[in-house]
Structure 1
Amino acid sequence: MSTAHGITSYFTTPQHERLREQVRDFAESKVAPRVAEMEESRAVHVELSRLIAQQGWLGVTVDPKYGGMGLGHLAKTIIIEELSRVSGAMGAMVQASQLGVAKIVHFGSAEQKKRWLPAVSDGACLPTIAVTEPESGGHVLGMSATAERVADGYVLNGRKVFVGNSHVGDLHGVVVRTGPGSQGLSAFLVESDRRGLSLGTHQTAMGLHGFSFGELIFENCFVPVENLLGAEGDGLAVAYSSSILYGRPNLTAVALGIHQAIVEHTVHFARTHRRYEGPLAELPTIKQKLGQLQSQLMTARLTAYHAAHLLDAGIPCDAELISAKLTNVESSLDSARTAMEVHAAYGLFPGRHIERFLRDANHIYAPAGTSDVQRLRLAEVALGTYREEWSARFADQLRIPEQAPGRWWRR
């Protein structure tokens, strides 16, 4: 990767780079030919989602004893980044599935892990997580969907919206209310074919065409007691830890992949498009913009890889995860605008891809907290009032065995 070779070689191992080559080859040969179709139809691309899952990449952070790759969060970042470089929609599909993996890895019982993680790892199961509701949005404690205890299980009622992989998911991790207050939230594993669970109509959005992030509707949906994830009252921890430890780095990786594509396509355009008897890239004003794009991309990748490396080392890094999401989202949006300036009117047409990158990048802003939310959390870090260090709480589960804290992987 010519744009940031020094950064990648500092953080990654030959194993990481082999994985990158594998994913990039797949993305360019299997995903790229379908992008135009996804953009035109705007329909959920179930076939491609399944094909990607079958590569085993959803199990990248799953212990090998459950059939996973066991390669950790930097490897996960690379997978999502390389897919997003070609298709933000398919990068988003993987990131949403990985978010669904988190709840089982961190809170699943031995029986739940044995049942579901091998299926996730071999691509037979696409998991999701469902937290957001129409009225409460990102205010988790404001949710109103409920689970009522009955003799041999629970009955769920309510709606969840903006659920990543809503229309392709096989196993939904649903956080609902079982009581009042912050201790009254619980999480459940709900199979997609459960009676009483239905899907809202898929609605096309501004970008990420091919990806689904829709509505789950629960109407007296019964789930057995063994589908309770963790204990009653663990719902808030399931939601927050999944969002911070998986959601933020996953979305960081999607933004990074889109950002990489923005720079590559803009550099190519500037080299091949001619003005004043020479390439556009020779104009000083354009060179300034290309330099700005390159600098922002390198900074974004550094924050993304550094945060993922700290997760793999089991080092507390909530602040780095927050900062990486903020930096990558904001810089990808800023670079998309700069790329549009370089392309001028040419950037408005789908054949140049730049307008797609701009649309897709905007989808990464809100999930796992908007940029304003990230700044508020970083302010708490600066003031010493940031409370829960989720990366410290789950350090033993996050740490890669081959990587001792403070050391790079063995090469």
Structure 2
Amino acid sequence: MLFETDDHQRLRQQVRDFAEGEVTPHVARLESSAAVDTILPTLIAEQGWIGVTIPREYGGMAAGHLAKTIIIEELSRVSGAAGAIAQASQLGVAKILHFGTEQQKQQWLPRIAAGTCLPTIATTEAGSGGHVLGMQATAQRDGDHYILNGSKKFVGNSHVGHVHGVIVRTGGADTRPSKSLSAFLVEADRPGIRLVEHQPAMGLHGFSFGDIEFNDVAVPAANRLGNEGDGLHVAYSSSVLYGRPNLTAVSLGIHQAALDSTVAFVKERRRYGAPLADLPTIQHKVGLMHHRLITARQTAYHAVHLLDRGDPCDGKLMSSKYGNVEAAMDSVRTAMEVHAAAGLRTDRPLERYYRDAACIYAPAGTGDIQLLRLAETALGDDRGQWSERLAHLTALAPQAPHSATSTATREHAA
């Protein structure tokens, strides 16, 4: 692949070996129970991969966004839930890297990189969805603390996270809308936090994508990320620079798995005295899936390669999320057409890929949201690029060698 280095290829093999050896044995259990899994989050975090974009001075890998994409993709190829677990906490890293004080970075990033802390980001509400400014959760200043009230939905790693990055309303009716929100680091064990009972989704079984309630939760003012009024920036920058490429990577892994399983199926299943793979109609469908995957991967890797260079690339990140999700959903449908009734059976993984792919559409913005933002960029109505403002925090040094393997990963490989 054009943008991959030898380090990236070694990392890919290490993650693939881990996924096939350590994740695969859990897939059947996750699918049968659909309960929140606590084993895989720990196993994945222990590899050091949540810290893939964290600078070395905080114990991270400093390997960049392409390395992050490869990690999520390879985990998702075996289990969409495993990829979702990894991407959700890597998304939680963004808010601290982008807006954390030096004290906050020293407090949280080494623990995240070491795998002892899983961060989340909690933005979405039932009444606002992708309209972040429509949220109703609040934080009222009370001396050296803020008192948080409200609820958040669809929080990735909600039931296994250790610290939640919560976006709430701090401004009153007379506050400019863009300055009405603030962000806080809220430890999961603070009094007043309630995890709503896990509701299994149609796919990504084992991944907690749940709801959290905050009832008079006292949070020190020192836990605020950035200034009061920076909450919208925290939410948007995290979503654009981490959320979109992370979910793109999950789609890539599912897409690859769907192609792999379809190729194996058409080679083994026979019709008219020959493998299905000999039929031109089947070859056409397999070729179409392969074309979609090649195009999707090139789009995804190019976008995060630009992000690693520190180049402006917001539009490419949004386009990549839109294109990859659509391509993966199209390809799993094509794979279902090839498998026919066999694809509906739970003894084959395709029906899982079908369900998992559908779960990637809404997070970090539906396809309609991506197209709306892309239209704003094309029309010159966007308000600047987050990659231009913040990519330098994780950008790789030009032409400088970097290691895309963590200490934990190397130990595992050994």
Shorter-chain TM-score tier: over 0.9
Q: Counterpart of 2:165?
A: 173
How far 1:381 sits from its partner (Å)? 2.2
Q: Counterpart of 2:409?
A: none
Q: Counterpart of 1:13?
A: 5
Q: Counterpart of 1:124?
A: 116
Give the ranges of 4+ consecutive aligned residues of structure 1 lying more than 4 Å apart after TM superposition: 408-411
Specify the SS of the correspondent of 1:351.
coil
C-alpha distance in structure 2 between counterparts of 1:385 and 1:393, whole Å? 17
Residue 156 of structure 2 is aligned to residue 144 of structure 1: no
Residue 78 of structure 2 is aligned to residue 86 of structure 1: yes
- 1:320 equivalent among 304, 316, 320: 316
Q: Counterpart of 1:52?
A: 44
Residue 103 of structure 2 is aligned to residue 107 of structure 1: no
Q: Counterpart of 1:3?
A: none
Amino acid at match of 1:44: V
Specify the SS of the correspondent of 1:188.
strand
Pairwise mapping of residues 7-406 of structure 1 onto structure 2 (< 5 A)?
8=1, 10-180=2-172, 181-403=177-399
Specify the SS of the correspondent of 1:350.
coil
C-alpha distance in structure 2 between counterparts of 1:360 and 1:345, whole Å? 19
How far 1:385 sits from its partner (Å)? 2.0
Unaligned residue ranges in structure 1 (runs of 5+): 1-7
Do the aligned partners of 1:13 and 1:409 also contact (CA within 8 Å) in 2? Answer: no
Q: TM-score, normalised by structure 2?
A: 0.95
Amino acid at match of 1:398: T
Q: Counterpart of 1:5?
A: none
How far 1:42 sits from its partner (Å)? 0.3
C-alpha distance in structure 1 between counterparts of 2:152 and 2:402, whole Å? 40
How far 1:384 sits from its partner (Å)? 2.2
Amino acid at match of 2:217: C
C-alpha distance in structure 2 between counterparts of 1:345 and 1:173, whole Å? 44
Amino acid at match of 2:271: R
How far 1:317 sits from its partner (Å)? 0.2
How far 1:387 sits from its partner (Å)? 2.1
Specify the SS of the correspondent of 1:11.
coil
* Greater RCO, CA 8 A, separation 6+: 2
Do the aligned partners of 2:55 and 2:394 also contact (CA within 8 Å) in 1? Answer: no
How far 1:44 sits from its partner (Å)? 1.0
Do the aligned partners of 2:62 and 2:394 also contact (CA within 8 Å) in 1? Answer: no
C-alpha distance in structure 2 between counterparts of 1:303 and 1:18, whole Å? 22
C-alpha distance in structure 2 between counterparts of 1:280 and 1:150, whole Å? 69
Do the aligned partners of 1:403 and 1:409 also contact (CA within 8 Å) in 2? Answer: no
C-alpha distance in structure 1 between counterparts of 2:381 and 2:221, whole Å? 37
Specify the SS of the correspondent of 1:219.
strand
C-alpha distance in structure 1 between counterparts of 2:241 and 2:105, whole Å? 19
* Aligned-residue CA RMSD (Å): 1.3
How far 1:388 sits from its partner (Å)? 2.4
Do the aligned partners of 1:49 and 1:93 also contact (CA within 8 Å) in 2? Answer: yes
Q: Deviations over 1:64-104 (max 9, x none)?
A: 11110000000000000000000000100111001100000
Specify the SS of the correspondent of 1:124.
coil
Q: Which moved more, 1:377-386 or 1:252-261?
A: 377-386
Unaligned residue ranges in structure 2 (runs of 5+): 405-414
C-alpha distance in structure 1 between counterparts of 2:402 and 2:307, whole Å? 13
Amino acid at match of 1:11: F
How far 1:121 sits from its partner (Å)? 0.3
Specify the SS of the correspondent of 1:132.
coil
Q: TM-score, normalised by structure 1?
A: 0.96
Amino acid at match of 1:229: L
How far 1:378 sits from its partner (Å)? 1.5
